[in-house]
Chains A and B, each alone.
Chain A
Amino acid sequence: MSSSTDLTRMTAAGLATAIAAGDTTAVEVTKAHLDRIAAVDGDVHAFLHVSADRALAQAASIDKSRADGNPARSPLSGVPLALKDILVQEGVPTTAGSKILEGWLPPYDATVTKRLLDAEIVILGKTNLDEFAMGSSTENSAYGPTRNPWDLSKIPGGSGGGSAAALAAFEAPLAIGTDTGGSIRQPASVTGTVGAKPTYGGVSRYGVIALASSLDQVGPCARTVMDTALLHEVIAGHDPRESTSIPQPVPQVVAAVKRGQSEDLSGIRIGVVKQLGGKGYQSGVLESFDSAVASLTALGAEIVEVDCPHFEYALAAYYLILPSECSSNLARFDAMRYGLRVGDSSAASAEEVMMLTRGQGLGAEVKRRIILGAYALSAGYYDAYYGSAQKVRTLIRQDFEKAYSTADVLISPASPVTAFAIGEKVDDPMAMYLNDLATIPGSLAGIPAMSLPSGLASDTGLPVGLQIMGPTLGEEAMYRVAATFEADYVSRHGGIVADFAPELELVK
């Protein structure tokens, strides 16, 4: 392998094969990506922290282990990855995009972090996000927004905009995201990358800074479906440290992708959700979606329309459940044991210092949701708000169950719009919340769902994401359809969508 650029444009699967074959080394691959980060991240700002020395040391130890004759510990051994800065990594700054955690060094590893390191995946650094994952644009990061590599004036989605932008900017071939209402899928959609939210409980949340405990899910991100599946199998699986972790075998998603790549979709029933489209969706997005439906039909799938009447209430339920849980989850950031402390003096009380620190250390959106959540949980209003929202979840689950009786997977646009301009929606929370219109129902039901590129919108020229939703623990069907769709796209366009992103100007 001659130039760094070549290595950064390869797939994770390809890099792992090349490292295993001795064509390159983990150190070379890591260096190539660190160089790329140095060259483009000043503009993109995907990373909050780059662990250059740590990553190179890890890569060197992987190379040494291979030289010593030890077998690779995973099919992604030696491949670099960008970790969303909401998962803790021992000794590496972890901020969750918030000032309140600036400078904090976690004394422990998240279960996913541990699994990545055990699989010899090289962690390049921590990626930017909306503060505590609250947002759909990464503009709520206390450390400045991430920019979309397709157009630096546009948002990369959120909350996981950093991870998605790192992939789209070829700064890393793999990334970890977290998805509470769409934070993996919507950024994937607007950056032309792939991101999957596994079934709730499929990947451990231990060591993931909690936003909304009953919705949060960690998931794999990459530029191809196969890379996403490979990473999925590395991070998934039961974790006794998390009580909501599913005690079942990991779905065989890599095998499902292989099958999808080699077979068509004959016999597969794909449901188009009536409620996820139309009003509120950009015409370029709908157009791309319609052409995706046409492709799937051509690939042999049977398309059926499914009716999910309660999806109408999903956004409302979500914006009650999430703030309620986050108002409690974020109470621990109180200036007592770690993190920022404002106004400490012998005259101040602990209560005053807590209030000052939280008032100044948390951003506007975070405070807004904490107050909203506290209100929704108030005695007297609990039944009308939080209680009702949990009932809506039941209705949405029932809608999904009914839909899956006639379809194997469901599809919709992943995001109603393509990447919008930075600053466009910051002062209008309701407009911002609508970005998650299509992803929230799946979050409330806890089903697996992913976004993969369906192409570029004819009106904006920016990527559009196709959302594929599987039934609970139905990741295999979801990945299989995604793989077939992607293979077809590549065969017709000569590459994946990410390959068509404009070149970024390199800093020299």
Chain B
Amino acid sequence: MSSTPPALTREDVAHLAYLTRLQLTDTELDTYVGQLSVILDSVATVSRVAGPDIAPTTHAVPLTNVFREDVIVPGLEHNAAMAGAPAVQDGRFRVPQILGEE
């Protein structure tokens, strides 16, 4: 197991906040850098016992091959689908301009 990752920097937190689309104030950034460092120090203990021979557990009750048949199920009425939208135009969700492309 690799050693503990390096300490969290303010730039790290700012980048993570961008990736998770959180606009943070400078105060918030400062607070989080401190708090997250404490938390990370504490949680880093997991790597101490997690040996390479231990299989990870992702689910409490192991199941496999859970499928749905390819049968159409009624979805939402159009108006119900749009009812919660902050803005609607021409039956579509109206959103601010999308910059950048995937």
Contact = CB atoms under 8 A, between A and B. Distances in A.
A binds B: yes
Interface of A: 104-105, 107-108, 199-201, 214, 240, 243-244, 246-247, 310, 313, 315-317, 319-320, 327, 331, 334-341, 344-346, 348-356, 358-360, 362, 364, 367-368, 370-372, 374-375, 378, 380-381, 383-385, 387-395, 397, 429-430, 445-447, 472-473
Contacts of A201: 59-61, 63
10 cross-chain pairs, A with B, having the tightest CB-CB distances, nearest first: A446-B60, A359-B23, A390-B56, A338-B84, A388-B50, A200-B60, A391-B50, A341-B86, A393-B57, A107-B80
Given A317-B46, A319-B43, A390 B36 contact: no
B50 A348 contact: no
Contact of B44 (A105, A240, A316): A316
B60 A199 contact: yes
Interface in B46-102: 46-51, 54-61, 63, 66, 68, 76, 80-81, 83-87, 93, 95-100
Contact of A351 (B55, B66, B100): B100
A319 B39 contact: yes
B22 A375 contact: no
A343 to B, nearest CB: 8
Contacts of B50: 387-389, 391-392
A475 B31 CA distance: 43
B20 A327 contact: yes
Given A214-B59, A390-B58, A337 B93 contact: yes
A384 B21 contact: no
Nearest to A345: B96
A387 B56 CA distance: 7
Interface centre among A327, A355, A384, A388 (most CB of B within 10 A): A388
29 contacts: A243-B63, A243-B66, A244-B59, A246-B63, A310-B49, A319-B42, A331-B20, A334-B21, A341-B86, A344-B96, A346-B96, A348-B96, A348-B97, A349-B98, A351-B21, A351-B100, A352-B96, A358-B20, A359-B24, A359-B25, A360-B23, A368-B36, A371-B13, A372-B40, A375-B12, A375-B40, A384-B4, A384-B44, A392-B46
Contact of B84 (A337, A351, A364, A372): A337
Contacts of B57: 390-391, 393-394, 397
A355 to B, nearest CB: 4
A353 B96 contact: yes
Interface size class of B (residues with CB under 8 A): 35 or more
Nearest to A366: B22
Contacts of B17: 367, 371
B45 A446 contact: no
A46 B86 CA distance: 29
Nearest to A240: B68
Contact of B45 (A104, A313, A378, A394): A313
Contacts of A395: 49, 54
Contacts of B12: 375
